[in-house]
Chains A and B, each alone.
Chain A
Amino acid sequence: MYSLSLHFFYPWIYLKKRIFTFCTIETGQFFSSGHTNNWAVLVCTSRFWFNYRHVANTLSVYRSVKRLGIPDSHIVLMLADDMACNYRNPKPATVFSHKNMELNVYGDDVEVDYRGYEVTVENFLRVLTGRLPPSTPRSKRLLSDDRSNILIYLTGHGGNGFLKFQDSEEISNMELADAFEQMWQKRRYNELLFIIDTCQGASMYERFYSPNLMALASSQVGEDSLSHQPDLAIGVHLMDKYTFYLLEFLEEVHPASQANMNDLFKVCPQSQCVSTPGHRTDLFQRNPGSVLITDFFGSVRKVEITKDTINLTSSVKPPIQSIAEHHVLQFVADVSSQNPKQKDWHPPDGFILGLWTLILLVFFQTYGIKHLKHIF
């Protein structure tokens, strides 16, 4: 694995010397992300017609991700129920995200890999870890490698520490964290962005402990994520607030956009969302400000044009290679001995304060303040 990374770095370092027309900022960003391919796993876990908004959430992220370049073969889309061709849908083969039927996120070219009863906790975890039966077709597998950036989006009904699948089973935050650790140990991702839009969504990323994970949630523990607007013709709520504003943000992103993760963290502040979106970046190596949105949502291929001949088979090692090698080894050492940063100390919140006040009050009530000076 080390030699592979060497060969990856060496020609780029060599090229860097030869090309003078690039400004330094661009070359810096060119080498800043180490991924070569992008995958997306988009899951809607709710069944029944009144959960239309969860399917619309997932399809709007699917639409953005496809628009920015990730092909269907690299997207695993799981929808627990069919809303588009549901007999209650007044406009068949459509799923709208904006009221007055402005935007059909279902579209004409959609491939759903897991649908209906196939969306279960077991299938979801098998897709993530790659432990699928041998006859599973390719479109249902997550064939990522150690240079893949994966986007995982979950939506549905959730609670403190769990996410409900199809009204009959749940996945806990510990199971999810363990699945990601399995993925890390099998080198199934380079970097992973986890977005969840459920009630108390922040509880789902509390237990992560694998490196290179960044997580976003639509609400904190103890808060509910709210839905956005109903459409009176269709009769249900069309989208959730967080994903609605996320879709509006992503509609402005194009493949060459330089928007970074800090912009994504600002999507849907409390004034718009009523709940407080949260994020977690302590397990992530790079600075979120240097991570482009298209690193996860798009599939931007880096192309470099050169008119010089590059000799890739030379055995003479220029001195610059030792620096590259050092960087590579340092990177690997950092990553494998990753410890999550210590959490900041928070002052005790209202409940603990109230409890202590009560204890002290009872104490003084029983013994009386003026008696205390006789005791002591």
Chain B
Amino acid sequence: MNERQWQSTDVEVNRSDGTKNSETFTPAPAKDQFQEELVIRPLHSGDIYASFQFRTLWDTDFLQEGQKKVSHYRLFPKSLGQVLSKFSVQELHISFTQGFWRTMQWGQPFIPSPPGAELWVWFHHTVSDVDGNWKELTNVLSGIFCASLNFIDMTNTVQPSASFKPLGLGNATDHRFLRYATLPREIVCTENLTPWKKLLPCGSKAGLAVLMKSEKLFHSSFHSQAVHIRPICQDEQCTSKAWELRQTLNVVFDHYTSGQGKKEWSLFKMFSRTLTEACPLASSSKVYVDITDNPELFELSPATPLLSQAVVLGDRRTYSVYDLTRAETFGQLRSFNLLLRWKGDNMLRPLLHAERYVAGFGLQTGEIHTVIYNNHPYRAFPVLLMDSVPWYLQLYIHTLTVTSKSRDNKPSYIHYQPAKDRHRPHLLEMLIQLPPHSMTEVTVQFERALLKWTEYTPDPNHGFYVGSSVISALVPSMVAMSTNFTQDQPLFSSFVPVKEESSYFVRVYTEPLLVNLPTPDFSMPYNVICLTCTVVAVGYGSFYNLLTRTFQVDEPSPPLAKRLANFIRRIRGVPLLA
């Protein structure tokens, strides 16, 4: 009887597949596609820059009210999809970085990121309580990525008015729906990489992700992993929208500068793995090697006839392309190991780069200096500088000076939001015009606050971090950029939408600052209590005795032993002692 019951349930499901109406069944799953690519770029200093990008495009809409909630996930990770629909997120960008990108030695990265963790989110315009959603979103993301993102709260969140415009579709005017926060102290390690890898459709089992071994990835000068989610147009007229999830991992290996090798490397040497197959779920899986600098001096093996040219970061570069979806790329050994030896070291000098440091002495006051360099020989262009300084460094905005070529340079747009103690950080945004071939210096004085003793971290003598400044600019390009974004472009050149042909968007992050605040001696209360009690007991106590003690003659009572002996003698009837 039981077996028949099991069977009938099965039959019911089969029958209702086609005939039941759509009220109880979701429609057929939406179309989604997955692409992966790896770009390898030898750097001027002899190091290697490897950039992985994994893109999932999904034809669906998380935020449309009329449609049923999305419930069938295929390539898009379910944890992120649920986060997007629950918190009505329009755009989400989160990055975890270990190390600092050295612009002068390495050029511009494909996707910039500041040291530590950075999270910026555009919420949908229907959200009523943005702060509440932000707080819950940071908690949920801290669980997904195993990071302490729950330390993001009102004391380190800002709402930039001009700096972080949406990179996808979106209403760019109302910055009330934008939240930006950074945790410069955040450590990145295997525990962040593990959940990041689990978001990929093939995991770390097939495709390019097999190269991601943590022992090699973290033994590098720079390591950055990021997740970018945004809605994009599928075509020129924007008739249909799709959600794009990009997972990027940038790493710079420093075998040459740390003296471990010659200017030759291979995939096996960098990652301790070779590629054996493309991810079966990927529609395209490619490896690009940048051979623009002196292609004759390169020795690339295995050789490939495929070449491609792309305009990226204002420069036309040539790449050798290896298509992993084709079986012949792997050769007879069914393993793909790229070998490269080169001798040239030319580099395009980056047009924009910046530094930041703290000046001054002592633990009371200081000065923050931000230095921005414009290396273009004849063009001037404006940059947007955004500074978010924690409340315990109290800025004196009346001492703010901007000088270029030792002359005052007045910013054309300033947005300043002062800090509220323990509530809100400082936010300073300025639009500065940089003269050609010049150095611009922005200085502002500050005073260090004394925190309450419970607000200090367990290791306060390490110092307190101030997040990186963000400099966003449209830099004039030497080469005309293509504005047609639906063309089949490699992923690394299509991250930022290009609006004009003559300039490209660049975001430069400065160093984070490490500032010592006046730190109390935490063993002080114990020492003070000991000292005070000793002084009171010995000093005051002796005086008190000397002054108030009086001496009287007293009959001494017999000691206890004598009293006990007398008691026993009384019982025995023997004469008592004196």
Q: Which residues of A contact B (CB under 8 A)?
A: 47-48, 82, 84-85, 91-94, 104, 106-113, 115-118, 133, 135-140, 166-168, 309, 311, 363, 367, 375-376
Contact = CB atoms under 8 A, between A and B. Distances in A.
* For the complex of A and B, 7 pairs with smallest distance between CB atoms: A137-B143, A85-B189, A375-B565, A93-B218, A135-B139, A166-B458, A92-B218
Contact of A118 (B2, B148, B189): B148
Nearest to A77: B191
A281 to B, nearest CB: 35
B187 A85 contact: yes
B190 A113 contact: no
Interface stretch (B209-217, B416-424, B530-538): B209-217
Given A111-B195, A133-B139, 7 more contacts: A84-B189, A108-B190, A108-B215, A115-B146, A115-B187, A137-B139, A137-B143
Contact of A111 (B191, B214, B561): B191
Interface string B440-466: 000000000000000001110000000
Contacts of B98: 85
Given A137-B143, A168-B458, A115 B135 contact: no
A117 B568 contact: no
A128 B189 CA distance: 26
Given A93-B215, A168-B458, A84 B190 contact: yes
B214 A108 contact: yes
A376 B571 CA distance: 11
Nearest to B139: A135
Contacts of B140: 135, 137
Interface of B: 2-3, 98, 135-136, 139-140, 142-144, 146-148, 150-151, 185, 187-191, 194-195, 213-215, 217-219, 457-459, 522, 561, 565, 568, 577
B73 to A, nearest CB: 18
22 contacts: A82-B187, A93-B217, A106-B190, A108-B190, A108-B215, A110-B190, A110-B191, A110-B194, A111-B195, A113-B146, A117-B148, A117-B458, A118-B148, A133-B139, A136-B143, A137-B139, A137-B144, A167-B458, A168-B522, A375-B561, A375-B565, A375-B568
A213 to B, nearest CB: 29
Contacts of B458: 47, 117, 166-168
A376 B577 CA distance: 11
A117 B217 CA distance: 25
Contacts of A109: 190, 194
Nearest to B460: A168
Name which of A91, A107, A116, A166 has the most chain B CB atoms within 10 A of its CB.
A116
Contacts of A107: 190
Given A84-B190, A85-B189, A118 B150 contact: yes
Given A93-B218, A117-B148, A47 B459 contact: yes
Nearest to B150: A118
B151 A117 contact: yes
Contacts of A167: 458-459
A27 B577 CA distance: 81
B561 A92 contact: no
A283 B14 CA distance: 55
Contacts of A376: 565, 568
Q: Interface of chain B, helix or strand or loop or mixed?
A: helix
A215 to B, nearest CB: 27
B149 to A, nearest CB: 10
Given A111-B191, A111-B195, A116-B187, A94 B148 contact: no
Given A117-B148, A117-B457, A111 B139 contact: no
Contacts of A133: 139
Contacts of A91: 215, 219
Contacts of B577: 375
Name which of A47, A111, A133 has the most chain B CB atoms within 10 A of its CB.
A111
Nearest to A109: B194
A345 B252 CA distance: 66
Nearest to B79: A137
Contact of B2 (A47, A136, A309): A309
A92 B219 contact: yes
A110 B218 CA distance: 15
B215 A92 contact: yes
Contacts of A363: 561
A122 to B, nearest CB: 12
Contacts of B187: 82, 85, 115-116
A354 B295 CA distance: 89
Contact of B191 (A112, A135, A137): A112
B565 A85 contact: no
A24 B488 CA distance: 70
A70 to B, nearest CB: 16
A107 B214 CA distance: 9
Contacts of B214: 93, 108
A14 to B, nearest CB: 15
A376 B217 CA distance: 89
A125 to B, nearest CB: 17
A110 B140 CA distance: 19
Contacts of B3: 309
B117 to A, nearest CB: 12
A112 B219 contact: no
Contact of B215 (A94, A111, A117, A137): A94
B452 to A, nearest CB: 14
A138 B143 contact: yes
B135 A135 contact: yes
A110 B189 CA distance: 10
A118 B213 CA distance: 27
B253 to A, nearest CB: 12
Nearest to A92: B218
B457 A111 contact: no
Given A93-B217, A166-B458, A82 B146 contact: no
Nearest to B564: A375
A167 B458 CA distance: 6
A96 to B, nearest CB: 12
B141 to A, nearest CB: 8
B337 to A, nearest CB: 21
Contacts of A168: 458, 522
B46 to A, nearest CB: 20
Contacts of B147: 115
A91 B457 CA distance: 27
A116 B219 contact: no
Nearest to B456: A168
Given A110-B190, A137-B140, A375-B561, A116 B148 contact: yes
B146 A139 contact: yes
Contacts of B217: 93
B146 A48 contact: no
Given A111-B195, A117-B457, A167-B459, A139 B189 contact: no
Contacts of B143: 113, 136-140
Nearest to A116: B148
Contacts of B459: 47-48, 167
A106 B190 CA distance: 8
Given A82-B189, A85-B189, A135-B135, A93 B146 contact: no
Nearest to B195: A111
A338 to B, nearest CB: 36
A113 B139 CA distance: 12
A166 B456 CA distance: 12
A117 B151 CA distance: 9
Nearest to A86: B187
Nearest to A133: B139
Name which of B2, B191, B218, B219 has the most chain A CB atoms within 10 A of its CB.
B191
Contacts of B146: 111-113, 115, 139
A136 B189 contact: no
B364 to A, nearest CB: 25
Name which of B185, B458, B561 has the most chain A CB atoms within 10 A of its CB.
B458
